[in-house]
Amino acid sequence: MKKTTLAITMVTVAIMILISASFNTKTVQAQSTENYTINHVNHEIQVLYNGYVFINDTIQITGNASDGFLMGFPYKYGSYTLRCVAYNSSYIFPVTLNVPLEDRVGFYGVEIDFPRGTPQVFTVGFVLSNSLLTQDASNTSLYTLNFPAYPSLTKTAAICNVSLDLPEGANYTSGTALNYSKENLPEFTYSPANLTFSLTDNEIQLFDVKELKSEVRISGTGEIEGSDSYYITSKSIASVSSIEIILPPNASGPSVQDEFGRTMPQPTMTDEKTNRYKISFSSSLESYRSTRFTVKYKLPNNYTTQMGTNNFNVTFPLFLHVNYYIEWASVTLVLPEGARISSFETTLIGSECNIARDVFQETVTMNRGNISLLDGDFSSENVLRIVYDYNPLWLSFRSTLWMWALAIVGCAVAVVWKRPKAPAHVAVPALAMRRLRPELLKSFVDAYEDKKKATLELESLENRAQKGKIPRRRYKVLRKTLETRVSTLSRNLAELKEKMRAAGGQYAELMRQLEIAETEINEVEASIKSIEARHSRGELSLEAHRKLLSDYQRRKDGAGTTINGILLRLREEIR
């Protein structure tokens, strides 16, 4: 029995040795194809305006990386990595995120393929979350940046130079130096680092740009008007009174409106070269609160060129000089009435374009997520280009319709005038609309805006709770308070609505329009939840999900515009 057991043990050990030798042989063979050396690495770290971290690694190698090039960071930075692009002066290389860094654990790796042969110099750009930049609670002018001191490579780098580009006016306080270098950087370097600096100016504002919707309208005479609608969320500990944004090149005459259509302070230019403007809020944006605002401006007519009698070309630059991170963006070009699109293209990689055709008008919309420096200064040729046909006779289209309409009305009046007169009837005066007191109208408008604000606060609270940024006990207390507040405001509004309906006339009509818009918003929100659930279950493709989401958001924005218009009209009544 003992001999049998000993024999089985020896056979098992022999098999394991053979298998191990086989794997080792394969590993050596796989590594042998990595016939290159790393000569030089420039590791540059830059803090973007809204706190996101941009890491740019320029790598010089000698040899052939036929199996691709592996690099990465300590694994703790993996969850903060939002985007990675590898490129050189003539080509953008395919990148695979979150891959193993050979057989090592504790690293977040990316793999870069070179389908056209190995370049000797190339650059890898990373965008990391602004959660890596923290603000001191007791001194909001102090910031601490957490970043990888060196890239994690699978081969030794002969020399690695590191530089940190802090915002203008920042003063180094403590931590890792701003500039340093290391010779013979070891393979699989694991080196998280911290740096603390002070900044009294507003060269950094911690906020997220959740959405940017740009719309550019071209008239038949060549005049161009644009509007950029922002949806942002503050992540700063202190209240934010202003932010800076970038407008398209040569934009002029900007004006700003808040989400209710109220005029905000006039923007001021802070950098003429990049067309950077400072937007001041009417009331400061509190920490982790969200807001919307729209910037309207004019553009010169040199954005369009005439190529023939009725043929035009419009070239619109995309996200030039943008020094902040945008989660989702869309650019819509609205052509003149009567224009017909011949062709269109965008050079922005990863974007989606679609055409919407109305009876007399066509529009082109480009959608893309994860916008950053990689789409701005580092890719200055990104444009949306449209070629369209347009006959200038369309300029008289509206006036011709009005002339025909007036002629038809005139003929109808003449026919009615010549008909035999019927016996005159005694007119019974209609019940006049009862005029409401300004105090009641003001109470209604204030209550409605308070309810909207409380609802937004409740949504923001839910988002913070889902991300684990607020203790559970505090979340329950705040949620109960906000729900009670919304319930009380809803009861008050119901009573005020009944009084306004009873007044009749325009007040009753406004309440009817308000209820229709509210019903539309409720239906859209329910539909959005439904498509989100279907998408999470895999029943809806990403493209269909985005299209439906865009359609529902357009309906929701339209209903919101109707509600804002009603509130604005009631405000005018108060005056």
Please give the pLDDT value at position 22. 43
Whether 35-198 and 207-394 share one fold: the answer is yes
CB 206 within 8 A of CB 142: no
- Distance, CA of 505 to chain centre: 42
Nearest-angstrom CA–CA distance, 307 and 232:
40
Sign of CA dihedral 503, 505, 506, 512: positive
Per-residue confidence (pLDDT) for residue 392, from 0 to 100: 72
**Can you list the alpha helix ranges (DSSP code H) found in 467-504?**
472-503
d(C-alpha 230, C-alpha 243), whole Å: 11
The pLDDT, as a whole number, for residue 431 is 39
How deeply is 149 buried, as exposed, middle or buried, from its count of CB atoms within 10 A (0-12, 13-18, 19+)? buried
Residue 53 near residue 84, CB atoms below 8 Å: no
**Reported CATH class of domain 207-394:** mainly beta
Query: Taking the model in full, what pTM does it have?
Result: 0.64
CA nearest 161: which of 176, 180, 177? 180
Cα separations in angstroms, 484 against 426, 455, 488: 55, 11, 6
Q: How far is the C-alpha of 10 from the C-alpha of 29, rounded, in Å?
A: 29
Would you say 160 and 41 are in contact if contact means Cβ atoms under 8 Å apart? yes
- Residues contacting residue 452 through CB under 8 Å, at least 6 positions apart: none
Class of domain 35-198: mainly beta
If phi over 0 gives left and psi between -120 and 50 gives alpha, with beta otherwise, what is residue 259?
alpha
In the DSSP assignment, the letter for residue 463 is: H
C-alpha–C-alpha distance, residues 463 and 485, integer Å: 19
Instruction: Enumerate the domain spans of the chain.
Output: 35-198, 207-394, 438-574
Whole-angstrom distance, CA of residue 227 vs CA of residue 275: 15
The number of CA neighbours under 13 Å toward the Cβ of 496 is 21
457-471 residues labelled b (16+ CB within 10 A) or e (exposed):
bbebbeebbeeeebe
| Sheet bearing 311-317, strands edge to edge | 304-306, 311-317, 383-389, 340-346
Angle CA(485)–CA(491)–CA(495) in degrees, nearest 5? 145
Q: Which of 564, 483, 563 is nearest to 515 (CA)?
A: 563
pLDDT by 10s per residue, the chain, length 575: 445 555 565 655 455 544 444 444 333 333 444 689 999 999 999 999 999 999 999 999 999 988 899 999 999 999 999 999 999 988 899 999 999 998 899 999 999 999 988 999 999 999 999 999 999 999 999 999 999 999 999 999 999 999 999 988 899 999 999 999 999 999 999 999 999 999 988 889 999 999 999 999 998 888 899 999 999 999 999 999 999 999 999 999 999 999 888 999 999 999 999 999 999 998 999 999 999 999 999 999 888 888 877 888 999 999 888 999 999 999 999 998 888 888 888 888 878 888 888 777 889 999 999 998 888 655 557 888 899 988 876 565 555 655 666 777 777 776 666 665 544 443 333 334 566 777 788 888 888 888 888 888 888 888 888 878 888 888 888 888 888 888 888 888 888 888 888 877 788 888 888 888 888 888 888 888 888 877 777 777 777 778 888 888 888 888 888 888 888 888 777 76
The closest of 549, 485, 565, 458 to 517, measured between CA atoms, is: 565
Where are any strands of DSSP class E within 259-325?
Answer: 268-271, 276-285, 290-299, 304-306, 311-317
CB 348 within 8 A of CB 320: no
31 three-class SS: helix
